[in-house]
């Protein structure tokens, strides 16, 4: 799967958003070996500003962040690009959040701490879906 993922993602861009700067940098560094380009943002507002300057094939975001939470970020992104592929990675899994996820039309939701293999499988699934629909 990793080899296929590398083939798919080598011409794709990723925006990774998490207010835990160390975690964000770690995953961004990891994904730079797979994606053509990876940008990192440490809160929703910064992510939206970056997103408005460039298009991304995939956005991976946390929910609870300063200045703008992940739900608001997703809603703003969907106004710009309704079909944007998004994966949420969050420590929060309460029912209230899950109902908001349905409204946001995200592709996948993973609970922290994230298993890297599971994250890679979700990324692979989303990117395969992008290719099928192009």
Q: Cβ-count burial of 22 within 10 angstroms (0-12 exposed, 13-18 middle, 19+ buried)?
A: exposed
H-state helical runs in the chain: 2-9, 21-31, 44-53, 70-80, 95-104, 116-133
**Distance, CA of 27 to CA of 32 (rounded, Å):** 8
What is the per-residue pLDDT for 92?
67
Question: pTM (2 decimals)?
Answer: 0.90
**Distance, CA of 16 to CA of 106 (rounded, Å):** 15
Per-residue confidence in pLDDT tens, the chain, 134 aa: 778 888 899 999 999 999 999 999 999 999 999 999 999 999 999 999 999 999 999 999 998 899 999 989 999 999 999 999 999 988 766 555 566 665 666 767 777 888 888 989 999 999 998 888 76
């Amino acid at each position: 799967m990793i080899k296929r993922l590398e083939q798919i993602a080598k011409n794709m861009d990723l925006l990774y958003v998490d207010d835990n700067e160390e975690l964000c940098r770690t995953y961004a560094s990891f994904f730079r070996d797979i994606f053509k380009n990876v940008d990192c943002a440490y809160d929703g507002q910064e992510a939206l500003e970056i997103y408005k300057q460039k298009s991304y094939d995939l956005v991976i975001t946390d929910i609870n962040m300063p200045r703008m939470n992940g739900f608001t970020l997703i809603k703003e992104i969907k106004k710009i690009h309704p079909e944007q592929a998004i994966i949420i990675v969050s420590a929060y899994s309460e029912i209230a959040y899950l109902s908001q996820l349905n409204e946001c039309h995200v592709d996948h939701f993973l609970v922290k701490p994230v298993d890297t293999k599971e994250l890679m499988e979700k990324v692979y699934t989303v990117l395969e879906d992008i290719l099928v629909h192009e």
